[in-house]
Amino acid sequence: VNEAALMAARVGRRFVTMEEFEEAKDKVMMGVERRSMVLTPEQKEMTAYHEAGHAVVGMKLPKCDPVYKATIIPRGQALGMVVSLPEMDKLNYHKDEAKQKIAMTMAGKAAEILKWGEEHVSNGPAGDIMQASAIARAMVMRWGMSDKVGNIDYSEAHEGYQGNTGGFSVSTKTKELIEEEVRELIDAGYKEARRILMENQEDWERLAQGLLEYETLTGEEIRKVMSGEAIHGD
């Protein structure tokens, strides 16, 4: 609210409108827009297909939070992003939901490889890989969601992954098993994302082109673009 009030004051408004609230929410959640950053047409195109990949997979998977907004305007450290928001406060995570979240997270890399091939993938998915790894490690090491590792809390090892937890050391065999399970979860998520993008190539293509044209799209606008409808009344 304070950020929205500052934005309204900067443009000389006497009242704070929904426009300022939306801008403030985006700034707080997504970071400050960096319109001064110049992207080459190639970088912009890769960002559009990458983010469209996240959005399409997120919208096709029922347990993912609804997609709130997609943008290819650089914000914070990111060249673009897709933001999903839960419809209500989230108090717990379920196994199928966590798997689908990993798939949505890996969809950016899957999109780049499908569009340009293995050798032309960028370092853009670095943040996605960190996020997917964090979810998969939590599933295996804290939430008891791996049958092979079992219902053992390796939370200290999860936080720092130093190989020591609760006063006893984690064996090499257990560490290898944990990493094998983490890798399997991430690989399965990547394969699921790739499958969804291949089955919905037209939607993905339309959305990427829509992002290149409009730069930022809301969830409702994304749905319209994917179904071939006009947005903004044009």
Can you tell me the distance from the alpha carbon of 210 to that of 224, in angstroms, rounded to the nearest whole number?
10
- Tell me the DSSP string of 177-233: HHHHHHHHHHHHHHHHHHHHHHHTHHHHHHHHHHHHHHSEEEHHHHHHHHTT---TT
> Does the active-site annotation cover 180?
no
Taking a C-beta distance cutoff of 8 angstroms, is the pair 73, 30 a contact? Answer: no
Taking a C-beta distance cutoff of 8 angstroms, is the pair 65, 111 a contact? Answer: no
The DSSP H or E segment spanning 83 is: strand 81-84
Q: Which of 20, 45, 51, 221 is catalytic?
A: 51
Can you tell me the distance from the alpha carbon of 190 to that of 205, in angstroms, rounded to the nearest whole number?
19
Can you tell me the distance from the alpha carbon of 95 to that of 80, in angstroms, rounded to the nearest whole number?
28
Active site members = 51
